[in-house]
């Protein structure tokens, strides 16, 4: 009797598929339910951002940079401004730095809330998504009070922030930060302590420290393997030196750790915001710089810790008002490299759980 002929099944996940985040396109070869090969196809959201930078002046670039990782716009702005400030050697006033920290940490909470909901959705739990969306809305309202915009605030400037915040914002933020731990507790009972969720995520896709470092993985996924690498601590920028906070790390390097770290990070962000609000210094929010920002000739590279990992920007200036070259190191893009080797040999259902922890934002991958 001849052997049964079997062949692998090629399934397209995306670019329009309910599971993929944004327009990522995965070509998956399946042997039954087991993944044999994965090939990510990117570029569906390519907007030529880095090229556009070369034709815009620096203040315009900030507005464009907002659109890169549309879930954490403040980090993009910071990543772009940081090297420019290094080049110009601007002294940012303390109040400006504190406001930046408050904004970025609020944004981190918003981004992690979205991750929480989307991850639950990936694993089949629908309700957490709507709950965290409700809380995220409050952060968006705060952004609107401060900057006038919700998703793409365009609030940071070279040398500080656009304008001072109102009392309404400060009170609202304080209230939000105070309430956050109670919500998170509610959320954790929905997912973290759920037996099925634990079954699905614990010991799934274990990553070792060496493996993660070799593939250049950063962010919560790297910390899940047990490496205490958070640029806010290891290479402090802005005013992060002034605050007291912990960096949660995992022990197993599995999906559950990567998920849990984000929940714990939200609490730490709340701690930072509370400290910043209590010690908010007075004075100006923006250093006196020339209206047309034109850094001296030279180049600078600066990195910050975005919710997804190490976000960095490399800027070459030729002394004019426009950058000669601007290159963004997007954490989503680099982390995506780790997806194919990680997914091989897993079930399709696991692939969704594994893929979700990297939380790639396609706007940032394609830029």
Partner 1 sequence: MNDVIFMVLRGLIALAIGLVNVIIYLYVERKVFADIHVRLGPMRVGKHGILQPIADALKLLLKEDIIPSKADRMLFVLAPVIVFAPSIMIYMVIPLTDNVVANDLNIGIFYIFGVLTIVPIGVLIAGWASYSKYSLLGGLRAAAQQISYEIPLLLSVLGVIMITGSMDLRTIVGQQSGSLVSIGNIGIIPNWFIFLQPLGFIIYFITLLADQFRVPFDIPEAESELVQGYQTEYSSMKFGFLQLAEYSNVLVLSAVGVLLFFGGWNGPVLPPIVWFFIKVWIGILVVTWIRMTLPRVRVDQLMTFGWKLLLPLTLANIALTGFLQLYFA
Residues forming contacts to partner 1 in the complex (CB under 8 A) are 9-11, 17-19, 30, 33, 120-127, 130-131, 134, 190-191, 194, 196-197, 199-200, 347-352
Closest distance between partner 1 and the C-beta of residue 363, in Å?
21
Whose Cβ is closer to partner 1: residue 40's or residue 83's? 40
- Rounded CA-CA distance 67/57 in Å is 16
* Nearest Cα to Cα of residue 308 among 103, 101, 47, 68: 68
Closest distance between partner 1 and the C-beta of residue 250, in Å?
20
Whose Cβ is closer to partner 1: residue 83's or residue 128's? 128
Closest distance between partner 1 and the C-beta of residue 237, in Å?
36
Whose Cβ is closer to partner 1: residue 108's or residue 200's? 200
Closest distance between partner 1 and the C-beta of residue 21, in Å?
11
Whose Cβ is closer to partner 1: residue 108's or residue 138's? 138
- Rounded CA-CA distance 234/5 in Å is 55
Exposure class string for 23-44: b at 16+ Cβ within 10 A, else e: bbbbebbbeeeebeebebebee
Taking every pair of Cα atoms in the chain, the longest distance, rounded to a whole number of angstroms, is 86
Whose Cβ is closer to partner 1: residue 2's or residue 18's? 18
Neighbours of 238 (CB within 10 A): 18
Whose Cβ is closer to partner 1: residue 160's or residue 356's? 356
Closest distance between partner 1 and the C-beta of residue 11, in Å?
5
Closest distance between partner 1 and the C-beta of residue 14, in Å?
11
User: Strand 309-317 vs strand 323-329: parallel, antiparallel, or unpaired?
Assistant: antiparallel
Whose Cβ is closer to partner 1: residue 11's or residue 41's? 11
Closest distance between partner 1 and the C-beta of residue 349, in Å?
4
The answer to whether 357 touches 262, Cβ cutoff 8 Å, is: no
Task: Please report, for residues 6, 127, 134, 265, 361, the alpha-carbon distance to residue 130 in angstroms, rounded to integers and kept in the order given.
Answer: 42, 5, 6, 21, 19
Closest distance between partner 1 and the C-beta of residue 13, in Å?
9
Whose Cβ is closer to partner 1: residue 177's or residue 352's? 352
105 Rama class: left (phi>0) / alpha (psi -120 to 50) / beta: alpha
């Amino acid at each position: 009797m001849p052997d049964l002929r079997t062949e692998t099944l090629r399934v397209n996940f995306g670019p329009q598929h309910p599971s993929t985040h944004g327009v990522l396109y995965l070509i998956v070869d399946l042997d039954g339910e087991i993944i044999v090969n994965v090939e990510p196809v990117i570029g569906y959201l390519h907007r030529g951002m880095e090229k556009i930078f070369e034709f815009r002046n620096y203040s315009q670039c900030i507005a464009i940079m907002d659109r890169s990782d549309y879930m954490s716009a403040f980090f993009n702005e910071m990543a772009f401004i940081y090297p420019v400030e290094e080049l110009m050697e601007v002294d940012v006033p303390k109040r400006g730095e504190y406001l930046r920290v408050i904004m970025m940490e609020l944004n981190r909470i918003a981004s992690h809330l979205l991750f929480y909901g989307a991850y639950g959705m990936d694993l089949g739990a629908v309700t957490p998504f709507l709950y965290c969306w409700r809380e995220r809305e409050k952060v968006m309202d705060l952004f609107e009070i401060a900057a006038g915009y919700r998703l793409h605030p365009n609030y940071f400037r070279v040398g500080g922030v656009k304008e001072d915040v109102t009392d309404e914002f400060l009170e609202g933020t304080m209230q939000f930060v105070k309430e956050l731990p109670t919500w998170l507790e509610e959320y954790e009972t929905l997912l973290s302590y759920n037996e099925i969720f634990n079954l699905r995520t614990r010991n799934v896709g274990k990553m070792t420290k060496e493996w993660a470092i070799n593939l250049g993985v950063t962010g919560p996924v790297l910390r899940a393997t047990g490496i205490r690498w958070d640029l806010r601590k290891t290479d402090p920028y802005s005013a992060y030196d002034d605050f007291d906070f912990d960096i949660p790390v995992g022990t197993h390097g599995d999906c559950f750790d990567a998920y849990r770290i984000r929940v714990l990070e939200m609490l730490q962000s709340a701690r930072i915001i509370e400290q910043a609000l209590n010690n908010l210094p007075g004075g100006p929010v923006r250093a006196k710089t020339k209206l047309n920002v034109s850094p001296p000739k030279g180049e600078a590279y600066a990195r910050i810790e975005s919710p997804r990992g190490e976000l960095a920007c490399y800027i070459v200036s030729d002394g004019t008002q426009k950058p000669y070259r601007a290159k963004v190191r997007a954490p989503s893009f680099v982390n995506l490299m780790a997806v194919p080797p990680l997914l091989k040999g897993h079930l399709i259902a696991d692939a969704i759980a594994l893929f979700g922890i990297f939380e790639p934002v396609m706007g940032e991958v394609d830029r």
